[in-house]
């Protein structure tokens, strides 16, 4: 009788623990309601062998992050890091669908290629963009996988194909004079750090991510769930990784150089 009672008690405790876990999952899911905030996007194509990239390019990149903290999505795509650092197809995909020309550092604010000494006016304009959609997500580090749970909400009726990208980026990578081979930044100085470096995305061969709309038109207040897992290379510093999400729209003009148009984005990094 005592053994039976113990078994019942044990099963009851397991059921309670399981219910609590499920409740926490549901509660977290309920918290993933995208806010009605338009953010700006700053993407940089850079190189460790580029002196301007390590000088004025890096300085302006940091200044824009600081001056627009909480309002700006900032990502750096490196074109000559060691292969374990970033998958080349991701860089080629990003750069191949953005306006090009003029060498590096190459900065894009939204869908425009701009002078890295004059980015703030373009950021200000982008922050006034009419709100179409927003994304919110939670992350869970599971061994060598970053698991992402997300929701995308549309705030107005839209037409066309929308995509969502999740980028794993790393902050504070040593690029100083004693940095490992391939990481030393030209003109960077002894204590230089590579920041916001894109490591991997939810679609390794497409920087613009996963298509999330299935109909020609999407009504206002549509809420779309999207979950994924992204592999983490053991050579990356897990303590300095963060995730950034961007919503893109496929450009209906097939002849346009900019194949994907920036819609909105969200991340949890504090820029300082």
210-224 pLDDT tens trace: 999 999 999 999 999
Is 23 a domain residue?
no
Share above pLDDT 90 across residues of the chain, in percent, rounded to a whole number: 73
Number of domains in the chain: 1
Given a cut of 60, whether residue 9 has pLDDT beyond it is no
Is 119 a domain residue?
yes
Mean pLDDT, the chain, rounded, equals 86
Is 3 a domain residue?
no
Tell me the mean pLDDT in the region 131-139: 97
Is 257 a domain residue?
yes
Is 22 a domain residue?
no
How far apart are the C-alpha atoms of 116 and 98, rounded to whole Å?
A: 16
For residue 85, give every residue at least 6 positions away whose Cβ sits within 8 Å of its Cβ, in sequence order, or none: 78, 182, 183, 197, 199
How far apart are the C-alpha atoms of 7 and 150, rounded to whole Å?
A: 39
Share above pLDDT 70 across residues of the chain, in percent, rounded to a whole number: 85
Is the whole model's pTM more than 0.75, yes or no? Answer: yes
CB count, 10 Å around CB of 144? 13
What is the domain range of residue 69?
35-267
102: helix, strand or coil = coil
For residue 215, give every residue at least 6 positions away whose Cβ sits within 8 Å of its Cβ, in sequence order, or none: none
| Residue 39: per-residue pLDDT | 97
CA 72 to chain centre: 11
Residue 196 belongs to a domain with what CATH number? 2.60.40.10
């Amino acid at each position: 009788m005592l053994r039976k009672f113990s078994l019942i008690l044990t099963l009851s405790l397991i059921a309670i623990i399981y219910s609590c876990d499920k409740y926490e999952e549901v509660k977290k899911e309920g918290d993933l309601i995208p806010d009605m905030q338009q953010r700006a996007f700053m993407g940089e194509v850079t190189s460790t062998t580029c002196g301007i990239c390590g000088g004025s390019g890096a300085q302006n990149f940091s200044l824009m992050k600081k001056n627009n903290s909480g309002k700006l999505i900032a990502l750096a795509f490196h074109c000559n890091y060691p292969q374990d650092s970033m998958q080349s197809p991701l860089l080629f995909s990003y750069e191949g669908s953005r306006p090009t020309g003029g060498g590096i550092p190459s900065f894009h604010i939204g869908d425009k290629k701009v002078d890295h000494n004059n980015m703030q006016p373009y950021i200000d304009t982008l922050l006034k963009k009419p709100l179409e959609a927003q994304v919110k997500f939670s992350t869970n580090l599971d061994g060598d996988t970053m698991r992402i749970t997300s929701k995308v909400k549309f705030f107005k009726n839209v037409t066309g194909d929308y995509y969502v990208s999740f980028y794993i980026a790393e902050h504070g990578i040593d690029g100083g004079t004693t940095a490992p081979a391939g990481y030393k930044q030209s003109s960077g100085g002894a204590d230089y750090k590579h920041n916001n470096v894109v490591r991997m995305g939810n679609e390794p061969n497409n920087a613009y991510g996963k298509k999330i709309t299935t109909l020609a038109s999407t009504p206002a207040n549509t809420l779309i769930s999207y979950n994924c897992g992204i592999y983490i290379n053991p050579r990356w510093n897990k303590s300095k990784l963060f995730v950034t999400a961007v919503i893109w729209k496929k450009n209906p003009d097939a002849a346009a150089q900019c194949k994907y148009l920036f819609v909105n984005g969200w991340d949890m990094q504090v820029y300082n």
